Amino acid sequence: MPDLSESDISERQYLYDSWSNGDSIVVVRHLERCDRADVPCLVDKDGLTARSVLVAADLSDDFFRLGLEQADIYNSPLARTDQTADLLFSSRSTDQGWLYNCRKEDTFLRDALSNKKPGRNLVLVTHSSCIARFEDDLGFSSNTPEYGTAIFLAADGRSKDIRLLGFVETDDWDEVIHSR
């Protein structure tokens, strides 16, 4: 999967154009899980670490700078994805059971496409296991994405054609978004 922070300007321009046209699907892995870290929790063990708040503040700024006026934002109802969505997007995100059930069912890509509206970007906050299924559906595999990694795809919502644009890790947004 291409790392958009290392891609050339033409690939990034395609991302900007796709986003401006409302043709993007962005899959975001939740922030750091508290049950797998030996640090203070934000609330409970099934949620995020307290240090996720600092990462979330920067990532939230990046998404708002990209523009969320024409974005539909959904998250898995589990605590860590719900907290990630709240930290990144305030009250703009809605719980969707299919973003949790995709861990067991092989329907992530189909469900994402059925929820993608023409002219509106779709942002999905989910789990690494769902991202792995998504990658399988698209015919590739990669290492487990870091917490907060965003995977960008272009899909206009009118056809079922999808173009994988690549990923952006939390520390790399300056090279991708702020350089335009």
pLDDT in tens, the chain (180 residues): 889 999 888 888 899 999 999 999 999 999 999 998 999 999 999 999 999 999 999 999 999 999 999 999 999 999 999 999 999 999 889 999 999 887 667 788 889 989 999 999 999 999 988 888 888 888 877 788 899 999 999 986 666 678 889 999 999 998 887 655
Which pTM value belongs to this model? 0.93
* pLDDT at residue 8, rounded to an integer: 86
Instruction: Bin 92: left if φ > 0, else alpha if -120 < ψ < 50, else beta.
Output: alpha
Q: What confidence score (pLDDT) does residue 70 get?
A: 95
- Ramachandran angles phi, psi of 179, nearest 5°: -90, 0
Identify the pLDDT of residue 160: 66
Structure confidence at residue 180 (pLDDT): 56
CA within 13 Å, CB half, 37: 18
Residue 179 has what pLDDT?
A: 59
DSSP assignment letter at 157: S
71: left (phi over 0), alpha (psi -120 to 50) or beta: beta
Q: Are 5 and 172 in contact (CB under 8 A)?
A: yes
